[in-house]
Structure 1
Protein backbone atom coordinates (compact mmCIF):
# COMPACT_ATOMS: atom_id res chain seq x y z
CA UNK A 1 0.00 0.00 0.00
CA UNK A 2 2.82 2.40 0.80
CA UNK A 3 4.31 1.92 -2.66
CA UNK A 4 0.98 2.62 -4.34
CA UNK A 5 0.51 5.72 -2.21
CA UNK A 6 3.96 7.01 -3.15
CA UNK A 7 3.36 6.31 -6.85
CA UNK A 8 0.05 8.18 -6.58
CA UNK A 9 1.82 11.12 -4.96
CA UNK A 10 4.50 11.23 -7.66
CA UNK A 11 1.95 11.00 -10.48
CA UNK A 12 -0.05 13.90 -9.06
CA UNK A 13 3.12 15.92 -8.56
CA UNK A 14 4.18 15.38 -12.15
CA UNK A 15 0.76 16.36 -13.47
CA UNK A 16 0.58 19.47 -11.29
CA UNK A 17 4.05 20.48 -12.47
CA UNK A 18 3.17 19.94 -16.11
CA UNK A 19 0.05 22.08 -15.96
CA UNK A 20 1.78 24.72 -13.83
CA UNK A 21 4.67 25.01 -16.29
CA UNK A 22 2.30 25.61 -19.20
CA UNK A 23 0.32 28.33 -17.42
CA UNK A 24 3.34 30.06 -15.90
CA UNK A 25 5.93 29.85 -18.68
CA UNK A 26 5.11 28.02 -21.90
CA UNK A 27 2.01 29.95 -22.99
CA UNK A 28 3.28 33.30 -21.66
CA UNK A 29 6.47 32.65 -23.63
CA UNK A 30 4.47 31.93 -26.75
CA UNK A 31 2.49 35.11 -26.17
CA UNK A 32 5.76 37.01 -26.55
CA UNK A 33 6.14 36.01 -30.22
CA UNK A 34 4.05 36.67 -33.29
CA UNK A 35 0.67 34.89 -33.19
CA UNK A 36 1.43 32.76 -36.26
CA UNK A 37 4.65 31.54 -34.63
CA UNK A 38 2.87 30.87 -31.35
CA UNK A 39 0.15 28.89 -33.10
CA UNK A 40 2.67 26.81 -35.01
CA UNK A 41 4.69 26.12 -31.87
CA UNK A 42 1.64 25.17 -29.83
CA UNK A 43 0.37 22.88 -32.57
CA UNK A 44 3.75 21.15 -32.46
CA UNK A 45 3.59 20.87 -28.67
CA UNK A 46 0.04 19.51 -28.83
CA UNK A 47 1.14 16.81 -31.28
CA UNK A 48 4.27 15.80 -29.37
CA UNK A 49 2.72 15.78 -25.90
CA UNK A 50 0.43 12.93 -26.91
CA UNK A 51 2.81 10.15 -25.90
CA UNK A 52 2.85 7.21 -23.48
CA UNK A 53 4.53 9.21 -20.70
CA UNK A 54 1.74 11.77 -20.68
CA UNK A 55 -0.92 9.08 -20.64
CA UNK A 56 0.73 7.27 -17.71
CA UNK A 57 0.70 10.48 -15.68
CA UNK A 58 -2.59 11.93 -16.90
CA UNK A 59 -4.65 8.74 -16.68
CA UNK A 60 -2.59 7.16 -13.91
CA UNK A 61 -3.14 9.96 -11.39
CA UNK A 62 -6.88 9.54 -10.80
CA UNK A 63 -6.76 5.76 -11.28
CA UNK A 64 -3.92 5.30 -8.79
CA UNK A 65 -5.72 7.51 -6.27
CA UNK A 66 -8.94 5.56 -6.76
CA UNK A 67 -7.20 2.20 -6.30
CA UNK A 68 -5.35 3.52 -3.24
CA UNK A 69 -8.66 4.73 -1.83
CA UNK A 70 -10.29 1.38 -2.40
CA UNK A 71 -7.41 -0.47 -0.77
CA UNK A 72 -6.81 1.87 2.16
CA UNK A 73 -8.74 1.98 5.41
CA UNK A 74 -10.22 4.79 7.48
CA UNK A 75 -9.17 8.37 6.90
CA UNK A 76 -6.53 7.40 4.34
CA UNK A 77 -9.22 5.92 2.10
CA UNK A 78 -11.23 9.13 2.28
CA UNK A 79 -8.22 11.28 1.37
CA UNK A 80 -7.26 9.09 -1.59
CA UNK A 81 -10.83 8.93 -2.87
CA UNK A 82 -11.11 12.71 -2.59
CA UNK A 83 -7.86 13.04 -4.55
CA UNK A 84 -9.25 10.75 -7.24
CA UNK A 85 -12.45 12.78 -7.48
CA UNK A 86 -10.71 16.15 -7.68
CA UNK A 87 -8.22 14.80 -10.21
CA UNK A 88 -10.95 13.30 -12.36
CA UNK A 89 -13.18 16.39 -12.29
CA UNK A 90 -10.53 19.09 -12.33
CA UNK A 91 -8.01 17.51 -14.65
CA UNK A 92 -9.57 14.78 -16.76
CA UNK A 93 -13.00 16.31 -17.37
CA UNK A 94 -11.68 19.84 -17.92
CA UNK A 95 -9.13 18.47 -20.38
CA UNK A 96 -11.68 16.42 -22.30
CA UNK A 97 -14.43 19.05 -22.33
CA UNK A 98 -12.40 22.24 -22.79
CA UNK A 99 -8.65 22.09 -23.44
CA UNK A 100 -8.67 19.31 -26.05
CA UNK A 101 -11.47 20.91 -28.10
CA UNK A 102 -9.52 24.19 -28.04
CA UNK A 103 -6.39 22.30 -29.16
CA UNK A 104 -8.41 20.78 -32.00
CA UNK A 105 -9.72 24.22 -32.98
CA UNK A 106 -6.15 25.58 -33.00
CA UNK A 107 -5.06 22.68 -35.17
CA UNK A 108 -7.95 23.34 -37.56
CA UNK A 109 -7.25 27.07 -37.64
CA UNK A 110 -10.72 27.98 -36.37
CA UNK A 111 -9.60 29.91 -33.28
CA UNK A 112 -7.24 32.87 -33.08
CA UNK A 113 -4.14 32.68 -30.92
CA UNK A 114 -5.42 35.53 -28.75
CA UNK A 115 -8.70 33.75 -28.00
CA UNK A 116 -7.03 30.37 -27.64
CA UNK A 117 -4.24 31.57 -25.38
CA UNK A 118 -6.48 33.42 -22.96
CA UNK A 119 -9.15 30.72 -22.63
CA UNK A 120 -6.78 27.74 -22.78
CA UNK A 121 -4.52 29.17 -20.09
CA UNK A 122 -7.45 29.96 -17.81
CA UNK A 123 -8.72 26.38 -18.01
CA UNK A 124 -5.22 24.98 -17.81
CA UNK A 125 -4.75 26.92 -14.58
CA UNK A 126 -7.90 25.23 -13.27
CA UNK A 127 -6.26 21.90 -14.14
CA UNK A 128 -3.07 22.97 -12.37
CA UNK A 129 -4.97 24.02 -9.24
CA UNK A 130 -6.98 20.79 -9.21
CA UNK A 131 -3.79 18.79 -9.59
CA UNK A 132 -2.17 20.65 -6.69
CA UNK A 133 -5.24 19.99 -4.55
CA UNK A 134 -5.13 16.32 -5.59
CA UNK A 135 -1.44 16.23 -4.69
CA UNK A 136 -2.18 17.64 -1.23
CA UNK A 137 -5.07 15.21 -0.72
CA UNK A 138 -2.81 12.35 -1.75
CA UNK A 139 -0.20 13.57 0.73
CA UNK A 140 -2.84 13.61 3.45
CA UNK A 141 -3.80 10.06 2.52
CA UNK A 142 -0.17 8.99 2.69
CA UNK A 143 0.20 10.62 6.12
CA UNK A 144 -2.95 8.85 7.35
CA UNK A 145 -1.68 5.38 6.44
Structure 2
Protein backbone atom coordinates (compact mmCIF):
# COMPACT_ATOMS: atom_id res chain seq x y z
CA UNK A 1 0.00 0.00 0.00
CA UNK A 2 2.75 2.44 0.93
CA UNK A 3 4.56 1.87 -2.39
CA UNK A 4 1.39 2.60 -4.37
CA UNK A 5 0.76 5.72 -2.29
CA UNK A 6 4.31 6.93 -2.93
CA UNK A 7 3.96 6.26 -6.66
CA UNK A 8 0.75 8.29 -6.54
CA UNK A 9 2.62 11.14 -4.85
CA UNK A 10 5.41 11.11 -7.44
CA UNK A 11 2.98 11.03 -10.37
CA UNK A 12 1.01 13.98 -9.00
CA UNK A 13 4.21 15.91 -8.33
CA UNK A 14 5.50 15.29 -11.85
CA UNK A 15 2.22 16.41 -13.44
CA UNK A 16 1.96 19.52 -11.26
CA UNK A 17 5.56 20.36 -12.15
CA UNK A 18 4.94 19.91 -15.85
CA UNK A 19 1.96 22.24 -15.87
CA UNK A 20 3.72 24.73 -13.58
CA UNK A 21 6.73 24.88 -15.89
CA UNK A 22 4.51 25.72 -18.85
CA UNK A 23 2.70 28.57 -17.09
CA UNK A 24 5.81 30.01 -15.44
CA UNK A 25 8.44 29.64 -18.17
CA UNK A 26 7.42 28.10 -21.48
CA UNK A 27 4.49 30.37 -22.26
CA UNK A 28 6.19 33.60 -21.09
CA UNK A 29 9.21 32.59 -23.16
CA UNK A 30 7.09 31.99 -26.23
CA UNK A 31 5.25 35.27 -25.66
CA UNK A 32 8.62 37.05 -25.87
CA UNK A 33 9.20 36.04 -29.50
CA UNK A 34 7.34 36.84 -32.70
CA UNK A 35 3.88 35.22 -32.85
CA UNK A 36 4.76 33.11 -35.90
CA UNK A 37 7.81 31.72 -34.08
CA UNK A 38 5.77 31.08 -30.93
CA UNK A 39 3.10 29.25 -32.92
CA UNK A 40 5.69 27.09 -34.68
CA UNK A 41 7.44 26.28 -31.41
CA UNK A 42 4.19 25.44 -29.62
CA UNK A 43 3.06 23.21 -32.47
CA UNK A 44 6.34 21.34 -32.13
CA UNK A 45 5.98 21.08 -28.35
CA UNK A 46 2.41 19.84 -28.70
CA UNK A 47 3.56 17.08 -31.04
CA UNK A 48 6.59 16.04 -28.99
CA UNK A 49 4.80 16.01 -25.65
CA UNK A 50 2.52 13.23 -26.83
CA UNK A 51 4.74 10.40 -25.66
CA UNK A 52 4.50 7.46 -23.26
CA UNK A 53 6.03 9.41 -20.35
CA UNK A 54 3.31 12.04 -20.55
CA UNK A 55 0.58 9.41 -20.62
CA UNK A 56 2.06 7.57 -17.62
CA UNK A 57 1.91 10.78 -15.59
CA UNK A 58 -1.27 12.29 -17.06
CA UNK A 59 -3.42 9.16 -16.90
CA UNK A 60 -1.50 7.46 -14.12
CA UNK A 61 -2.01 10.24 -11.57
CA UNK A 62 -5.77 10.00 -11.15
CA UNK A 63 -5.78 6.22 -11.65
CA UNK A 64 -3.09 5.69 -9.02
CA UNK A 65 -4.96 7.94 -6.59
CA UNK A 66 -8.18 6.06 -7.28
CA UNK A 67 -6.50 2.67 -6.80
CA UNK A 68 -4.83 3.83 -3.59
CA UNK A 69 -8.13 5.22 -2.33
CA UNK A 70 -9.94 1.98 -3.08
CA UNK A 71 -7.29 -0.10 -1.32
CA UNK A 72 -6.66 2.14 1.69
CA UNK A 73 -8.60 2.17 4.90
CA UNK A 74 -10.49 5.25 6.07
CA UNK A 75 -9.60 8.03 6.69
CA UNK A 76 -6.69 7.79 4.21
CA UNK A 77 -8.96 6.42 1.50
CA UNK A 78 -11.01 9.61 1.36
CA UNK A 79 -7.95 11.80 0.83
CA UNK A 80 -6.76 9.68 -2.09
CA UNK A 81 -10.24 9.52 -3.61
CA UNK A 82 -10.53 13.31 -3.30
CA UNK A 83 -7.15 13.65 -5.03
CA UNK A 84 -8.35 11.42 -7.85
CA UNK A 85 -11.51 13.50 -8.28
CA UNK A 86 -9.74 16.86 -8.22
CA UNK A 87 -7.15 15.59 -10.69
CA UNK A 88 -9.75 14.05 -12.98
CA UNK A 89 -11.75 17.26 -13.19
CA UNK A 90 -9.06 19.91 -12.91
CA UNK A 91 -6.42 18.21 -15.03
CA UNK A 92 -7.90 15.52 -17.23
CA UNK A 93 -11.25 17.15 -18.04
CA UNK A 94 -9.75 20.62 -18.51
CA UNK A 95 -7.10 19.19 -20.83
CA UNK A 96 -9.53 17.20 -22.94
CA UNK A 97 -12.24 19.87 -23.09
CA UNK A 98 -10.16 23.05 -23.38
CA UNK A 99 -6.40 22.80 -23.87
CA UNK A 100 -6.31 20.01 -26.47
CA UNK A 101 -8.97 21.62 -28.70
CA UNK A 102 -7.00 24.87 -28.52
CA UNK A 103 -3.82 22.99 -29.44
CA UNK A 104 -5.67 21.47 -32.39
CA UNK A 105 -6.90 24.91 -33.47
CA UNK A 106 -3.37 26.32 -33.26
CA UNK A 107 -2.08 23.37 -35.27
CA UNK A 108 -4.77 23.86 -37.91
CA UNK A 109 -4.01 27.57 -38.14
CA UNK A 110 -7.52 28.56 -37.07
CA UNK A 111 -6.43 30.28 -33.84
CA UNK A 112 -3.93 33.12 -33.67
CA UNK A 113 -1.26 33.24 -30.98
CA UNK A 114 -2.74 36.42 -29.47
CA UNK A 115 -5.98 34.53 -28.84
CA UNK A 116 -4.38 31.21 -27.97
CA UNK A 117 -1.69 32.14 -25.47
CA UNK A 118 -3.62 34.02 -22.75
CA UNK A 119 -6.54 31.59 -22.75
CA UNK A 120 -4.35 28.48 -22.94
CA UNK A 121 -2.12 29.77 -20.12
CA UNK A 122 -5.11 30.58 -17.92
CA UNK A 123 -6.48 27.07 -18.30
CA UNK A 124 -3.04 25.57 -17.88
CA UNK A 125 -2.76 27.46 -14.61
CA UNK A 126 -6.11 25.98 -13.57
CA UNK A 127 -4.63 22.55 -14.32
CA UNK A 128 -1.54 23.46 -12.27
CA UNK A 129 -3.60 24.52 -9.26
CA UNK A 130 -5.73 21.38 -9.51
CA UNK A 131 -2.63 19.18 -9.64
CA UNK A 132 -1.04 21.00 -6.72
CA UNK A 133 -4.26 20.56 -4.74
CA UNK A 134 -4.28 16.87 -5.67
CA UNK A 135 -0.65 16.60 -4.59
CA UNK A 136 -1.53 18.07 -1.20
CA UNK A 137 -4.47 15.68 -0.86
CA UNK A 138 -2.21 12.73 -1.63
CA UNK A 139 0.29 14.01 0.92
CA UNK A 140 -2.37 14.23 3.59
CA UNK A 141 -3.56 10.76 2.63
CA UNK A 142 -0.04 9.46 3.13
CA UNK A 143 -0.03 10.81 6.69
CA UNK A 144 -3.23 8.85 7.36
CA UNK A 145 -1.91 5.44 6.24
- Matched length: 145
Offset at residue 99 of structure 1 (A): 0.1
Q: Post-superposition, which runs of at least 4 consecutive aligned residues in structure 1 deviate over 3 A?
A: none
Unaligned runs of at least 5 residues, structure 2: none
Q: Deviations over 1:79-104 (max 9, x none)?
A: 00000000000000000000000000
Q: Which residue of 1 aligns with 2:142?
A: 142
Q: What TM-score comes out, normalization by structure 1 length?
A: 1.00
Query: What is the 5 A alignment of 1:42-81?
Result: 42-81=42-81
1:123 aligns with 2:123: yes
Q: Deviations over 1:113-139 (max 9, x none)?
A: 011000000000000000000000000
Q: Which residue of 1 aligns with 2:12?
A: 12
SS of the aligned residue for 2:75 comes to helix
Q: What TM-score comes out, normalization by structure 2 length?
A: 1.00
1:40 aligns with 2:69: no
